[in-house]
Amino acid sequence: MTSSTATPATSASSTLYFGPWYRRSPFFEKTLEAGCSAYDIYNHMYLPGYFADPIEEYWALLNDVTVWDVAVERIVEITGPDASAFTNLLTCRDLTTCAVGQGKYVLICDSDGGVINDPVMTRMDENTFWFALASSDVLLFFKGLKNAYPKLNVTIRELEVAPLQVQGPKSKDLMKDLLGESILDLKYYFWRKAEIKGVPVVITRTGWTSEVGYEVYLLDPTKGSVIWDTLLEVGKKYNVKPTGPSDIRRVEGGILNWGADMTYENNALELGLERLVDFSLPEDACISVGALKKIKAQGVKKRLVGVELDGEPFPALNAVKWDAHKSDGGAAIGKVTSAIYSPRLKKNIGYCWMPTEMAKDGTKLKVETEWGPRTATVAPMPFIDPDKRIPVS
């Protein structure tokens, strides 16, 4: 992302080069001031990656509370008299049970069952839905689908809404001090409106960590500094730290990353996300359910599984997908997607695509990593808290 014509932006720890062709979040300048030393490009916007050592940030998440700029989760809104019918076309999950004030993790799927995106969807009112999106061109997909259903009266637009994540065991204490005791009544995957220093926000009990956490959706993009400074000030006594997203914790928790662990080529059954498919949906009410029924009847040829990898700790998240082979060698039979060292488990863990007949716990593989060959063993995932009791608590 460097260029001789780009504008330099200096932080305490590094000099970074930024150009006008990518978007900056309302919190961007504050992340620079806080010492962010690495940025990624995600949904055409700068995503803060690291402020300190990733393992230090991991322990801050597990022990205290962290604040992340995740305005890269672009918010697409569907609203109008037929918003409910149109939204149901997009996802294979039954949304008739989703109340106003509630959110759900959903899969946006195409007519062949392939996953276009896996956002958190929130129902903002009877005829308005928000999608907090991973990095794929979902806005264009939604608009294209609207052209195929011209009789449905909906408006589709990307909002200038910017989320921050407040994550970790002390996040409840921070949010209580910030907004009062009533925020503790907010249930997992529900949301409410609030104000912070007079700035309107939406608060959700969600996050990308499998820890207790909240997301603060800034509704006025001119007030990013107010929200950032207030969170850090209120969180001082809880050792609040600005960090980037924790790949260690999300892999431990079995959280998938669209574009890394799955793409348009994969479907819910291969991913082990069959629970997000309501096979009783009428085929004219959901564009993907017919294909997913056929896939279920035929069975899938590959699956994404958890793996533990031996040897020295990986120094970082893998930068490329690794070939996986049978334990006795031969041609590659799969790919390791995300892989990283877990300080808590004291082992390397990750995900691997492999043939269904081999996707059994205990299966041994040989993997060609960036740090030399390793033996991998198929293991259950999530690696920690399989019942997801921590984030609900």
* Domain contains 235: yes
204: enclosing H helix or E strand = strand 199-204
319 and 253 part of one domain: no
- Residue 1 confidence (pLDDT): 36
Give the separation between CA 174 and CA 241, rounded to whole angstroms.
12
Specify the number of domains making up the chain.
2
Choose one of 249, 271, 299: the last residue of a domain: 299
- Residue 12 confidence (pLDDT): 45
Structure tokens at 107: 């899969």
260 and 333 part of one domain: no
- Residue 21 confidence (pLDDT): 86
- Residue 13 confidence (pLDDT): 46
Write the CATH number for 69: 3.30.1360.120
142 and 37 part of one domain: yes
SS3 374: strand
DSSP string of 93-151, one letter each residue: S--TT--TTBEEE--EE-TTSBEEE--EEEEEETTEEEEEE-SS-HHHHHHHHHHH-TT
Closest CA to 131 of 192, 93, 190, 78: 78
Residue 273 lies in domain: 26-299
Write the CATH number for 349: 2.40.30.110
- Residue 10 confidence (pLDDT): 46
pLDDT per residue rounded down to tens, the chain (393 residues): 333 334 445 444 455 667 788 999 999 999 999 999 999 999 999 999 999 999 999 999 999 999 999 999 999 999 999 999 999 999 999 998 999 999 999 999 999 999 999 999 999 999 999 999 999 899 999 999 999 999 999 999 999 999 999 999 999 999 999 999 999 999 999 999 999 999 999 999 999 999 999 999 999 999 999 999 999 999 999 999 999 999 999 999 999 999 999 999 999 999 999 999 999 999 999 999 999 999 999 999 999 999 999 999 999 999 999 999 999 989 999 999 999 999 999 999 999 999 999 999 999 999 999 999 999 999 999 999 999 999 999
Helix axes 224-234, 171-179, angle to 10 degrees: 110
* Domain contains 364: yes
Choose one of 282, 299, 316: the last residue of a domain: 299
* Domain contains 345: yes
Choose one of 271, 299, 327: the last residue of a domain: 299
DSSP string of 246-290, one letter each residue: -HHHHHHTT---BTTTB-TT-BTTTTT-GGG--TTS-TTT-TTHH
- Residue 122 confidence (pLDDT): 98
Cα dihedral sign, 370-385-303-280? negative
Closest CA to 227 of 12, 62, 29: 29
* Domain contains 170: yes
* Domain contains 393: no
pTM here is 0.94
- Residue 74 confidence (pLDDT): 96
270 and 339 part of one domain: no
* Domain contains 197: yes
